[in-house]
Structures are given as C-alpha cells and as structure tokens.
C-alpha cells in the first residue's frame, strides 16, 4: 500500500473522518439501479482508502448452489459467468464456515487453490494479497466482498477491519438492488410469456373465427343443396301411392331431414343474428329438451340484451358454450329443470349461468363421454378471455356452468 493510502487509512481512526467517508459511499450508491453500476460508483471512493488491483462482489443466487460475481478493476473470468458455490475460492465464506479470509499470498493458500477450485483468475492476474468478508443482511449471508492486490502482504488486520465496515455498508444496498434486478427479470419474463400467450390466443381466435365461417358455409350448402334434394325425394316418394317401399322409406327420410335441420341450425345460428342472443338460447333450450317430457326451461336476462352488443366472434363463442352446457344438462343430467340466466352488475363483467337440477357432475372415471364437450367449452372461454366455472350449485342439487366476461369486453 502507498504512503498516501496508509495516511488516508490512518485517518479512519477518528470517528468523524470515518463517518464522512462512509456517508460519501452512501451518496455514491444513491440513484444506482443495478449492482454493477453501484459497485462502479463506489469503487473510486473506496480506492482512496484501500489500494487494490481488483474488487469484486459475489452474490448468492436464489438457489444457494450458485453465485454471480460483479467486478471492477481487472476483468477476470469470475465476472463472465455464473459459478457454483462449491468451487468458489471463497466458498468457506459463502457457506458460512467463516466470516472473513485474509491471505498474504493466495497463490500458495490452499483455502483458495484447493483441487477443483475456480481459481484461474488468481494465477492469471497474480492476485497475491486478498481480503474476503461475508456480506450479511439480517444475519443471513448474501455474498462476499473481495479485495485483491498483486503484491504480497499488502493487507493486514487494519485493512480487514476496514473491509468489514465497507461490507456492512454495502450489503443492504446490494441486497435491495439484486432483489430489484430479479423482480425486473421476472417481470420481463412474465411479460414475454403473456405476450406469447396473447399472440397464441389471438391466433387461435382467428382460426376459430375462420372455422366458424367455414362451419356456417357448410350449413348453408347443406340447406341449399342437400336438404332441398332430400325434400324433393320425399315429395316424389309421397306421390308414389300404394308403394309399400316408399311408405316405409318416407318416415325415415323425414327423420333424417329433421336431424339435418338441427345440424344446419347449429352450424348456422341464424336465430342469433336475426332475433338476438336471448331468443336463440331460448329456442335451443326448447329443441334440446324436446324429447324429454316434463323438463321445464327458462331464460332470464337482466343485462338489457348485453350479449347482442358484443363483437360477433365473442357473441358466437358465448352461444356455443351455452349450447354445449345446455346439451350436457339435457343429455346427461336427468334434470327436471334447465335454466339460463344472463346478468351484468354495474362495474362488473357480463355473466351467464346455465343451471340444472339433475344428478350433478359424475366422478372423473365416469365422465369421459362429457370430457370432450367440457374441454371445448374451456377452450372457447379461453379464446375470448372469459372465465369458465363448472361445479355443483350452491345449496341445491344439480350443476352450474358460469361464464364471466371481463368488464372491458362486456
């Protein structure tokens, strides 16, 4: 250490001089947003009091098995990669075996150069004299503060005591900065993931819209061509009076025509466009339960026809979810009543509930037949950013399917 450095270090003895020095270090830290910048900011101030060729801070990562080094002065391999604590030259500090290390010649010190140690920078840069002190926050070791000089025996007990004070000053700042860096990285990762998810959702929504259009086109083709052909064949057969084969075939064809009309209505929800969401749902309820004697149905809307003000893609997706929920209630629940309620409280999103008083959801091993429909409902809900909840009714037998749209979409 130079004579000037000795003189400056001696000035640390008076409490006032020491206080001003550490206040200057704190002022250098103010406004720094990351560990590397903060270390660079205090480097020159510290160098006035402790001569060194290399200064680094290694901070333990979230996983205790690794640490990351930040360095100023010489550029070494320590500052280029995340390292394992188990091979660190200061592992005894990072693992809590000791709180400080002082060496006159680290090149010959087995604490730093043990077999397998990541100690190449010590030899490459001739880092003979070393002081290493634990950095702690609330009694927990967060890393190590490390000073090195290229000449031997540069440091002693006085320098070690000084480094302890510096470590105590820097530790809370660096701990907070590191936490901030992690939070920013986590936020960036989450934002990127959300962007990818939103991109996938929009892509899938566009694909679903294209499939819906194709579905409606097929429905129109079935209506204009296939249904017309079948109707004409039935009319021709009905004119063949006395033909026993025709008499047997006509009822079957009429059943096929009725089934085809239902398929067309499902593929091409004209009622939804012509008469609105509530009326279309009411008609679907009637058709789904037509063959179930005694089943009562009801549609209630307290939202002032809010679904009809939605974008076409969102409105059709909601209608498809309600269709599937109604079909499940009609086919599998053994219900005596199926009802749909549409509501929108002030300041809240649009909510639709399909409720039945049937036997409820079956056990997981017996619901395979319904799994496809439930999955389709969940997929459609995800595509329009809606929340789908399926479960038992509160205090009543049966099942409730609830779809909630975010306020900004409703």
What CA–CA distance (Å, rounded) separates 389 from 400? 8
On whether both 134 and 282 belong to a single domain, the answer is: no
| Residue 386 within any structural domain of the chain | yes
On whether both 182 and 313 belong to a single domain, the answer is: no
pLDDT, position 393: 85
Q: Is the pLDDT of residue 6 over 50?
A: no
Longest CA pairwise span in the chain (Å) = 127
**Residue 369: CA count within 13 A, CB half-sphere:** 8
Q: Is the pLDDT of residue 2 over 70?
A: no
Q: Residue 68 belongs to what domain range?
A: 3-189
What CA–CA distance (Å, rounded) separates 198 from 407? 18
On whether both 281 and 373 belong to a single domain, the answer is: yes
Angle between the N-to-C axes of helices 312-332 and 368-383, in degrees from 0 to 180, rounded to the nearest 10: 160
On whether both 170 and 300 belong to a single domain, the answer is: no
What CA–CA distance (Å, rounded) separates 288 from 127? 83
Q: 86-90, 232-236, 274-278 — which one is most confidently predicted on average?
A: 86-90
On whether both 168 and 50 belong to a single domain, the answer is: yes
Boundary (domain end) residue, out of 121, 156, 189: 189
On whether both 283 and 407 belong to a single domain, the answer is: yes
Q: Is the pLDDT of residue 8 over 50?
A: no
| Residue 197 within any structural domain of the chain | no
pLDDT tens digits for range 168-225: 989 988 888 888 777 777 777 777 777 776 676 667 667 666 666 666 667 666 666 7
On whether both 298 and 404 belong to a single domain, the answer is: yes
On whether both 169 and 278 belong to a single domain, the answer is: no
Provide the whole-model pTM.
Answer: 0.48
Domains of the chain: total: 2
On whether both 66 and 168 belong to a single domain, the answer is: yes
pLDDT tens digits for range 264-313: 666 556 667 778 999 989 988 988 888 788 899 999 999 999 999 998 88
What CA–CA distance (Å, rounded) separates 41 from 48? 13
What CA–CA distance (Å, rounded) separates 314 from 320? 10
Boundary (domain end) residue, out of 143, 168, 189: 189
**What confidence tier does 366 reach under pLDDT thresholds 50, 70, 90?**
very low
| Residue 76 within any structural domain of the chain | yes
| CATH code at position 353 | 3.30.565.10
Tell whether the torsion through CA atoms of 333, 334, 339 and 340 is positive or negative.
positive
**What confidence tier does 11 reach under pLDDT thresholds 50, 70, 90?**
very low
pLDDT tens digits for range 31-47: 788 888 989 999 988 98
| Residue 195 within any structural domain of the chain | no
User: Parallel, antiparallel, or unpaired: how do β-strands 337-344 and 296-301 relate?
Assistant: parallel
Q: What is the mean pLDDT of the chain?
A: 82
For residue 285, what are the CA distances in angstroms to 186, 217, 295, 297, 336? 47, 24, 10, 7, 13
| Residue 203 within any structural domain of the chain | no
On whether both 41 and 169 belong to a single domain, the answer is: yes
- What SS3 class is residue 131? strand
Residue predicted with more confidence, 146 or 240:
146
| Residue 139 within any structural domain of the chain | yes
| Residue 221 within any structural domain of the chain | no
On whether both 48 and 175 belong to a single domain, the answer is: yes
Do residues 94 and 118 make contact, with C-beta atoms less than 8 angstroms apart?
Answer: no
On whether both 12 and 158 belong to a single domain, the answer is: yes
Boundary (domain end) residue, out of 189, 222, 245: 189
| CATH code at position 98 | 3.30.450.40
| Residue 224 within any structural domain of the chain | no
DSSP state of 227: I
pLDDT, position 9: 45
**Residue 325: CA count within 13 A, CB half-sphere:** 30
């Amino acid at each position: 250490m130079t004579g000037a450095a000795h003189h400056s270090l001696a000035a640390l003895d008076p409490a006032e001089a020491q206080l001003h020095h550490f206040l200057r270090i704190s002022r250098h830290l103010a406004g720094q947003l990351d560990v590397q910048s903060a270390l660079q900011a205090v480097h020159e101030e510290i160098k006035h009091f402790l001569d060194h060729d290399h200064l680094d801070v290694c901070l333990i990562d979230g996983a205790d098995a690794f640490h990351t080094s930040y360095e100023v002065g010489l550029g070494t391999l320590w500052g280029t990669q995340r390292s394992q604590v188990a091979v660190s030259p200061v592992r005894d500090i990072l693992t809590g075996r000791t709180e400080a290390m002082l060496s006159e010649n680290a090149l010959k010190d087995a604490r730093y150069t043990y077999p397998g140690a990541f100690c190449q920078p010590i030899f490459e840069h001739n880092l003979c004299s070393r002081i290493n002190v634990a950095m702690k926050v609330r009694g927990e070791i967060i890393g190590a503060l490390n000073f090195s000089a290229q000449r031997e025996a540069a440091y002693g007990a006085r320098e070690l005591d000084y480094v302890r004070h510096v470590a105590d000053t820097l530790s809370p700042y660096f701990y907070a900065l590191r936490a901030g860096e992690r939070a920013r990285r986590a936020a960036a990762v989450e934002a990127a993931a959300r962007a990818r998810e939103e991109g996938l959702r929009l892509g899938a929504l566009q694909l679903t819209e294209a499939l819906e259009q194709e579905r409606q086109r097929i429905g129109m083709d079935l209506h204009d061509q296939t249904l017309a052909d079948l109707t004409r064949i039935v009319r021709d057969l009905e004119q063949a009076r006395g033909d026993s084969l025709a008499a047997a075939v006509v009822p079957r064809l009429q059943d096929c025509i009725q089934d085809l009309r239902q398929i067309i209505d499902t593929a091409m929800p004209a009622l939804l466009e012509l008469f609105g969401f509530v009326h279309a749902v009411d008609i679907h309820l009637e058709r789904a339960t037509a063959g179930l004697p005694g089943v009562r149905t009801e549609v209630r809307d307290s939202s002032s026809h809010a679904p009809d003000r939605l974008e076409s893609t969102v409105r059709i997706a909601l209608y498809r979810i309600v269709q599937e929920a109604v079909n499940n209630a009609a086919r599998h629940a053994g219900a005596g009543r199926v009802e749909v309620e549409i509501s929108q409280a002030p300041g809240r999103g649009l909510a639709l509930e399909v409720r039945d008083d049937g036997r409820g959801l079956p056990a997981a091993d017996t619901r395979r037949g319904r799994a496809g429909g439930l999955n389709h409902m969940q997929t459609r809900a995800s595509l329009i950013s809606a929340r789908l909840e399926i479960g038992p009714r509160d205090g009543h037998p049966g099942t409730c399917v609830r779809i909630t749209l975010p306020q900004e979409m409703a």
